[in-house]
Amino acid sequence: MIIKSPLDIIFRDLFYRLRGFAGGHDVFLKLEGFNISGSIKVKTAIGLIEDLERRGIAKPNETVIVESSSGNLGIALGLVCAIKGYRFICVTDSNATSANIRGMKLYGAKVIVLDDRDSDGGFLGNRFKAIDHILRSEPNAVWLNQYDNIANKNVHAEQTANEIAGEFETVDWIFVGAGTTGTLAGVSERLRQLFPKIRVVAVEPVGSVTFGGTPGKRNIPGIGTSIRPKLADHVKPDRIIAMDEERTVEACLSFVRNYHLLVGGSTGAVLAAMQQLAPEFSTGETIVAISADLGEKYLDTVYNPDWVKSVIAGNTKTLAET
């Protein structure tokens, strides 16, 4: 295989069959972490920038792209902007992995890392304030706004959903971690058209407000929000699973032991959700889940017992006490 650009490194038909994973049922994990920049978000990054270009809003060497990201979209945009010739400013927070922050900088991005949480325990309010400040001070700045940008949904309807549909004759269950809900909205929209009986399961962390939960401190980046993303209006999941971070970490660890793949934090939540709903699966059903990234960049957090003890276990105790 000869590639013309790093952006050609996207694995569209990579599914790991997990034998007997959920209540004895096999499930299929769509692996997005082998893509360039390490996650599903490279598709989102390309989709958002190409959408601006189609609409004549972005011009290379002139436009400054601005975005709020928990890290994976940030590094993907860093790469896309470097290749296409845009300056890029990313606003992120201290939950982002150091690998993503350092990677963004290496691609030439300016990275603003916020430490101060909003009063509800999240960072999104402060991230939006920082974006607002940049937009007022940078005349050529354009905010992609992945939380309310239909191009974020469309890229997953046109690509991720069709990649799944191309692999299976039918899909009975689809499990998707929800951050901006772009993946969830796009994948569920297209798969429902193709497989009307499909059950769509949204997975978010405890402490996320997207589907009506109570706001709370979260520590694993990628899924969950402290301000409901507008894209969520486009999705009506059949089931919503709020997974606590302790079970998410346990799912990651047992997956490494039993299925020998170091997966990212949000994948742990999705895996735990599949095991939770396993009693509802029937023999012969096709069960698919999306794994957004891999685990190497979480070695100092999700896979570090000291971090888990002080941050996750401490958080659960705090929530229980208050």
Ligand X SMILES: Cc1ncc(COP(=O)(O)O)c(C=O)c1O
Q: Which two tokens stand for residue 90?
A: 């990313």
If the CB atoms of residues 23 and 228 are measured against ligand X, the closer one turns out to be: 228
Distance CA 141, CA 149 (A): 16
Establish if 38 lies at the interface with ligand X (CB under 6 A): no
CB contact set of 313 (below 8 Å; sequence gap of 6+): 246
Per-residue x/- mask for ligand X, residues 54 to 73, rule CB under 6 A? ----------------x-xx
Choices 76-84, 173-181, 254-262, 298-306; region in contact with ligand X by CB under 6 A: 173-181
CB of 71 to ligand X, least distance (A): 7
If the CB atoms of residues 222 and 237 are measured against ligand X, the closer one turns out to be: 222
* CB-CB neighbours of 105 under 10 Å: 14
* Sign, Cα dihedral of 38, 44, 49, 53: positive
Residues 141-170 that bind ligand X (CB under 6 A): none
- Asked if residues 14 and 272 have their Cβ atoms less than 8 Å apart, the reply is no
Establish if 295 lies at the interface with ligand X (CB under 6 A): no
Establish if 235 lies at the interface with ligand X (CB under 6 A): no
Q: How many residues bind ligand X (CB under 6 A)?
A: 19
Distance CA 232, CA 210 (A): 7
CB of 98 to ligand X, least distance (A): 15
CB of 136 to ligand X, least distance (A): 26
Establish if 277 lies at the interface with ligand X (CB under 6 A): no
Residue 43 burial class via C-beta count within 10 angstroms: exposed 0-12, middle 13-18, buried 19 and up: buried
If the CB atoms of residues 25 and 32 are measured against ligand X, the closer one turns out to be: 32
CB of 30 to ligand X, least distance (A): 12
Establish if 182 lies at the interface with ligand X (CB under 6 A): yes
Helix (H) or strand (E) holding 308: none
Name the residue with tokens 């694993």. 220
CB of 271 to ligand X, least distance (A): 12
Establish if 226 lies at the interface with ligand X (CB under 6 A): no
CB of 189 to ligand X, least distance (A): 13
Helix (H) or strand (E) holding 74: helix 72-84
If the CB atoms of residues 216 and 224 are measured against ligand X, the closer one turns out to be: 224
CB contact set of 106 (below 8 Å; sequence gap of 6+): 78
